Amino acid sequence: MKLFEVARLKGVSRKSLVAVQGSDSFWSRVGFYKVKDANVCASYGDNAVFMEKVLTNNDDPATNFP
- H helices present in 11-66, as ranges: 24-29
Range of the domain at 14: 3-57
For residue 53, the domain's CATH number is 3.40.630.30
Q: What is the pLDDT of residue 2?
A: 83
Burial of 51 (0-12, 13-18, 19+ CB in 10 A): buried
Mean pLDDT of the chain: 86
For the chain, the domain total comes to 1
Residue 30, in any domain of the structure: yes
Question: For the segment 42-66, what is each residue's pLDDT rounded down to a tens digit?
Answer: 999 999 999 999 988 765 555 545 4
Percent of the chain whose predicted confidence (pLDDT) is above 90:
61
Residue 28, in any domain of the structure: yes
Q: What is the pLDDT of residue 4?
A: 81
